Structure 1
Amino acid sequence: MGKIRFGLYGYGKVAHLHAKAIAASGNASLVSICGRDPDKAGAFARSWGIEARSSAAEMADRDKVQAVIVTTPHPLHAAHAIECLEAGLNVIVEKPMALKVADCDAMVSAARSRKLSLGVISQRRWYPSTIRIKRAIEKGDLGIPLLGQVIILGWRDQAYYNSDPWRGTWEHEGGGVIVNQAPHQLDLLSWFMGPVSGVSGSWINANHPYIKVDDSAVATVHFANGGLGSVFVSNSQKPGIYAKVYIHGSSGASAGVQTDGGAMFIAGMSGVLEPPYNDLWTIPGQEKMLDGWKREDASYFSRIDPTWHFFSLQIDDFASALAEGRKPLVTGEDGREAVKIIEGIYESAKIGRTVFY
């Protein structure tokens, strides 16, 4: 079977990174794009030597597209993903999968009913440092993962929010740090800890008077295995400090990763300043491996472009899964777990009590 023919739905900054990722993939090729503004879609298409179409159905019919990456603003993810699925196309949707769990359920149902694949962009699962934690959990080195932490101390300035008209609004972005910067770390938390069963959280706007949404939030997450998670995320710390995910197991051992360091990556606007690395590891007999791993990971990152390389690895897996008739490594059901946390924070803040799933 030849390369899987991909289309893009949406032509914003992150779409260009996905185009680079597909170009580097051994299993995928980019053939067309669609979006609501034909001029912008046409300009994108010309820059990449592909076709511009008016809809997912037209991409499927005229370009024989097999899979689409949805890169439109967050509130549109569900509608656009379902449009693609109804056109018979497999779908990878950018993070977050949607803003509501009910929308995730509708997306999963649309894929299942048509025997199509649905995935969610979660490229940090391909970091060597996060894979180490997942493998340690699977091997039982931590015992049962019972306590998890997400800490994001980031920064976004007014120029960032002015860079696109949809940023910083409930209507067009769907929220702030919770829906835009935190989903990758929330995804890792649920990947490590398992299904989410409840969320209690609150949010504030600490120092961004020019936006209407949250820039900081805290939450407690309940997991089906009886574990708890602590979430502390903020875009209010100049110039951006770090993002970390820590897991503590029933054995007393802990493992952690700094996924982002310094001023954090902005798709299409900045680079990745620091390689992610394991900064906590107390598994007996492995405590002294951190320095070696950090050198290995720094060397690896020096040889790639981390702004799109890990997209390419996930796209490769999705394309391979289609060719092999298996599930991709990240499914719609997986992406739904992070949305539970996102929805749960906003809803529990609104009603003043824990939201259970």
Structure 2
Amino acid sequence: MPINVAIIGCAKIAHLHAKAILQIPDLNFKAVWSRTPESAQKFVDEYGVKAYSSIQEMIKAENIQMAVVCTAHPYHADPAIEAMEAGANVLIEKPLASTLQDCDRIIEVAARTGRKTGVISQRRWYQPIVRMKKAIDEGKIGTPALGTIQMLGWRDRSYFEGDAWRGSWKMEGGGVLVNQSPHQLDLLQWMMGDIDEVFGYWSNINHPYIEVEDTAVAIIRFKNGGLGNILVSNSQKPGIYGKVHIHGSNGATVGSQPEGGAMFIAGKTTIAEAPKLDLWTVPGEENQLEEWNKADSDEFHSVDAMTWYFRQQLEDFKDAIINDRQPLVTAEEGRKTVELFTAIYRSQRDGKPVKFPLLPEYDREDMDGRLL
């Protein structure tokens, strides 16, 4: 079943989606929309698609069934809603939105229109992550009891000056929590389960020329009784790594390093190192780490890693449309990531732990403590 696809927002990350779409049979890349005509024209020239100044017109004229939203974080909701109301299913770049208000608007319209919605979290398809999740689901570590994520990277001044929206609360929605950490925040909750309470802090350590945070820490209590901690930062030069470790009630641990070395920057760098397992103490499987890492590295180096994992998620979303099922990463799953970083902002603002679930704060205009 051929599916017509459009991209909404023609920023740097959109090019990776375009290349991945073109690799998938039965996905027909038809059109783009952008607030910036010059950006849209680059897609017309490179991919031979049509550019539109109206999302609704584009969806109707090209019979678009799948729209991939790649606008800046605070501007995901309005175009996604417009696309759904015009008849398209939408796959939205991470995070789902920068506020819970916008998340709930997207989810409400999806429910009302019956459209599929998904959120990009392509690291769920990394083979080391797949192995971790499978081991947890099969009970090999008992109950997940302690989850930790670390993301220690670097962003320099040229990165923030490269796009006008970066480094601003209103234009980017946040710093390392909103932009660089959603993948890790998603993986932590996917493996550990729902959250009961969060206490967190954020800071700007060494980027005085931006408004947003470059570092954040948090302690988590999960509903299953497990605990967790978060350490994410853009203040380590050069970038070091990103890690996800899950420790179980039987004493076994599974852990991976999805990112190593300099962190990926869309339109500027490639993925520096293959993702790998770096901890595995499941009884009887301790000696398989080297074999698995070799197999996973061989796969990583046999494909175009820049687009392969996007392709896996796009394939999943395509199949969800064709077979009328939910995609692996739904809008509701994406909201959990926004809820977590929102809790960290609110915790610093209020100086106390934040209980879940969180509701939007319609009576405040401080963006959960981001606008001081």
What's the TM-score bracket when you normalise by the shorter of the two chains?
Answer: over 0.9
Q: 1:43: Cα distance to partner?
A: 2.7
Cα shift at 1:185:
0.6
Where does residue 249 of structure 1 map in the other structure?
Answer: 248
Given that residues 96 and 180 in structure 1 are in contact (C-alpha distance below 8 angstroms), is that contact kept between their aligned partners in structure 2? yes
8 A contact 2:64–2:87 mirrored in 1: no
1:276-287 aligned within 5 A: 276-287=275-286
Q: What secondary structure sits across from 1:308 in the alignment?
A: helix
Distance 1:166 1:82 in 2: 22
SS at match of 2:191: helix
Question: What pairs with 1:1-357 in structure 2 (closer than 5 Å)?
Answer: 1-2=1-2, 4-356=3-355, 357=357
Distance 1:55 1:344 in 2: 35
**Matched residue SS, 2:77:** helix
* Contact kept? 1:28, 1:316, Cα under 8 Å: no
Q: Is the 8 A contact 1:255 1:280 kept in 2?
A: yes
Of stretches 31-40 and 207-216 in structure 1, the one that deviates more from structure 2 is 31-40
Look up the equivalent residue of 2:180 and give its one-letter code.
Q
Corresponding residue SS for 1:171: helix
Task: Indicate conservation of the 8 Å contact 1:199/1:348, yes or no.
Answer: yes
Task: Return 323-332 or 7-16, whichever deviates more.
Answer: 323-332
List per-residue Cα deviations over 1:104-133 (Å, max 9, x = no partner).
Answer: 122111111111100000000000000001
For residues 184 and 340 of structure 1, what CA distance do their matches in structure 2 show?
A: 14
Query: Structure 1 residues 312, 93: CA separation in 2 closer, same or farther (over 3 Å shift)?
Result: same
Q: SS where residue 64 of structure 2 aligns?
A: coil
Deviation at 1:144, TM superposition (A): 1.0
Instruction: Please say if residues 198 and 354 of structure 2, whose CA atoms lie closer than 8 Å, have aligned partners that are also in contact.
Output: yes
Answer yes or no: is the 8 Å Cα contact 1:66–1:89 preserved in 2: yes
- Residue 52 of structure 1 and its aligned partner are, at CA, apart by 0.4
SS of equivalent to 2:170: coil
Distance 1:121 1:26 in 2: 20
8 A contact 2:11–2:70 mirrored in 1: yes
Task: Output the CA distance in 2 between the equivalents of 1:171 and 1:104.
Answer: 16
Alpha-carbon distance in structure 2 between the residues aligned to 1:288 and 1:274? 22
Q: Deviations over 1:24-70 (max 9, x none)?
A: 11242211001112232123222210010112211111111111111
Structure 2 CA distance for aligned equivalents of residues 71 and 304 of structure 1: 24
* Aligned-pair CA distance for 1:16: 0.3
The structure-2 alpha-carbon separation of the partners of 1:198 and 1:77, relative to structure 1 and needing over 3 Å to count, comes to: farther
The CA distance in 2 between the partners of 1:276 and 1:167, in whole Å, is: 27
Whole-Å separation in 1 of the counterparts to 2:45 and 2:82: 24
1:288 and 1:8 mapped to 2: Cα distance? Answer: 45
Aligned partner letter, 1:183: P
Pick closer, same or farther for the CA change 1:231–1:27 going to 2, 3 Å: farther
Would the aligned equivalents of 1:27 and 1:316 in 2 still touch at CA under 8 Å?
no
Which runs of 5 or more residues in structure 2 are unaligned? 358-372
Aligned AA for 1:60?
Answer: I
- Cα distance change of structure 1 residues 249 and 331 upon mapping to structure 2, 3 Å threshold: same
Q: Is the 8 A contact 1:178 1:342 kept in 2?
A: yes
Q: Report how many aligned residue pairs link the two structures.
A: 356
The 1:55/1:226 distance shift into structure 2, 3 A limit, reads farther
Per-residue CA deviations over 1:164-194 (Å, capped at 9, x if unaligned) read 1111111110111111111101111111111
CA displacement at 1:226 relative to structure 2: 2.1
How far does residue 299 in structure 1 lie from its aligned partner after superposition?
0.8
Q: CA deviation at 1:153?
A: 1.0
The amino acid across from 2:104 in the alignment is: D
Q: Distance in 2 between matches of 1:195 and 1:58?
A: 40
Distance in 1, Cα, partners of 2:60 & 2:308: 30
1:196 and 1:96 map into 2 onto residues whose CA distance is 18
SS of structure 2 residue aligned to 1:307: helix
- In structure 2, how many angstroms separate the alpha carbons of the residues matched to 1:229 and 1:162? 34
Contact 1:267–1:307 (8 Å) recurs in 2: no
1:82–1:222 CA distance, 2 compared to 1 (3 A): farther
Counterpart of 2:369 in structure 1 is: none
Alpha-carbon distance between aligned partners in 2 of 1:228 and 1:137, rounded to the nearest angstrom: 16
Distance 1:79 1:227 in 2: 37
C-alpha distance in 2 between matches for 1:209 and 1:127: 35
* Identity over aligned pairs, percent: 49
